[in-house]
Homo-oligomer: A and B are copies of this chain.
Amino acid sequence: MRFAPTAEQQDLRIAVRELMRDRCPSSVVRAEPDDPAINGLAEEICRMGALGLLVAERDGGLGLDENYLVPLMVETGWAAAPLPLVDSIAFAPGLLSHAGYSDGPDYRKRWCVADPAKRAETRFGQPAGLLLRGGFGGTGAVQLVDLDTAVRSHLAAMDPSADVHDVRGGQELAIVDDPVLVRQAWQRGVLAAAAQLIGLARHMLEMTVDYVAGRTQFGVPVGSFQAVKHRLATALLAVEFAAPVVDRAGHSMASANPGADRDVSSAKALASEAARAVGREAIQCHGAMGYTTEYDLQLYLKRAWALAADWGSASWHRARLAGHLGMSLTGSTPAG
């Protein structure tokens, strides 16, 4: 029994963290989708093999499991990396392999966007050549679509750095309807989103602590007020008790635990709530400063809001969890 990352997992985390601090500062999060800095970041991520993290070694991947996916996503979430990482690294690999799209070294360049709820909507689609449509909740078929042949139009969103598009049509390349693969892809997407939310929450909390420790009001640091201390203590509690549940969910998937679906839903529900709670306290503790787009907090805040709502909201996953616990809700729990 040992509930802690291995040295290899820890090394991966550090490598990703260094890459993110180096290549994904807030200026990159703010950049236009076709900015060279974003392309550069995408290339670095390819170079470290991250796109093949969950791809079998025989298919040219790293052959690693979800215990490695979690730290990778925590750190890219921390940086709010403006790329479809959840889609390409977590959701896509099993589906692409099955459809024959991961053979040879070409998969490294293969960025995907996912639209599991079939909202005809994508985020961070700029580098992607493939669209994966369907699979919400881990059921149904996933359609592989050639994104270049689809009709795309920009949508205004709360998070302007998310590069949201309305996407319709496009040539169908394949259909994956193997229920095991679709469920695995969905669970991996949910797990990756949960992990990114942990990173985002930690980042917002760090920024807020720095801010209130430095800012003075009524002659003392804002961070010395008991109300501020208690708010941030509450925020830390939310993160510290969500993070191990995300780690646990990664382990359950990696070890094919029959409770994996329950654990993944637990992770996403808690991580979504933690990120929202931290965001709420962060903006209140920043005062008007948190409320301007010149300051970086909003970048991470808006990303957290979107990711908390995406891949099943906290409510959605709680309802699913209730089912796993043998309690069935009478109300409906729709997708998206």
A27 at the interface (CB under 8 A from B): no
Please, which residues of chain B bring their CB within 8 A of the CB of A153?
A: none
Task: Give, as a whole number of angstroms, the nearest-CB distance from A212 to chain B.
Answer: 14
A219 at the interface (CB under 8 A from B): no
Task: Give, as a whole number of angstroms, the nearest-CB distance from A315 to chain B.
Answer: 15
Please, which residues of chain B bring their CB within 8 A of the CB of A226?
A: 225-227
Contact with B along A223-242 (1 / 0, CB 8 A): 00111001000000000000
Q: Kindly identify which residue among B227, B329, B330 contacts A227, using a CB–CB cutoff of 8 Å.
A: B227
A326 at the interface (CB under 8 A from B): no
Q: Kindly identify which residue among B225, B230, B330 contacts A330, using a CB–CB cutoff of 8 Å.
A: B330
Contact with B along A292-336 (1 / 0, CB 8 A): 000000000000000000000000000000000000011100000
Please, which residues of chain B bring their CB within 8 A of the CB of A331?
A: 329-331
Please, which residues of chain B bring their CB within 8 A of the CB of A329?
A: 331
Task: Give, as a whole number of angstroms, the nearest-CB distance from A245 to chain B.
Answer: 27
Number of copies: 2
CA distance A156 to B291 in the complex (A): 55
CA distance A17 to B331 in the complex (A): 47
CA distance A225 to B229 in the complex (A): 12
Task: Give, as a whole number of angstroms, the nearest-CB distance from A319 to chain B.
Answer: 13
A331 and chain B: residue at smallest CB distance: B330
A225 and chain B: residue at smallest CB distance: B226
Within 8 A of B (CB), among A196-230: 225-227, 230
Please, which residues of chain B bring their CB within 8 A of the CB of A227?
A: 226-227, 230
Please, which residues of chain B bring their CB within 8 A of the CB of A330?
A: 330-331
Please, which residues of chain B bring their CB within 8 A of the CB of A230?
A: 227
CA distance A226 to B229 in the complex (A): 10
CA distance A227 to B226 in the complex (A): 6
Task: Give, as a whole number of angstroms, the nearest-CB distance from A247 to chain B.
Answer: 32
A228 and chain B: residue at smallest CB distance: B226
CA distance A230 to B230 in the complex (A): 11
CA distance A227 to B296 in the complex (A): 29
CA distance A329 to B332 in the complex (A): 11
A329 and chain B: residue at smallest CB distance: B331
CA distance A131 to B61 in the complex (A): 77
A interface residue numbers (CB < 8 A to B): 225-227, 230, 329-331
Return 9 A-B CB contacts under 8 Å, by A number.
A225-B226, A226-B226, A226-B227, A227-B227, A227-B230, A329-B331, A330-B330, A330-B331, A331-B331
Contacts A226-B226, A226-B227 given; 7 further ones with Cβ under 8 A? Answer: A225-B226, A227-B227, A227-B230, A329-B331, A330-B330, A330-B331, A331-B331
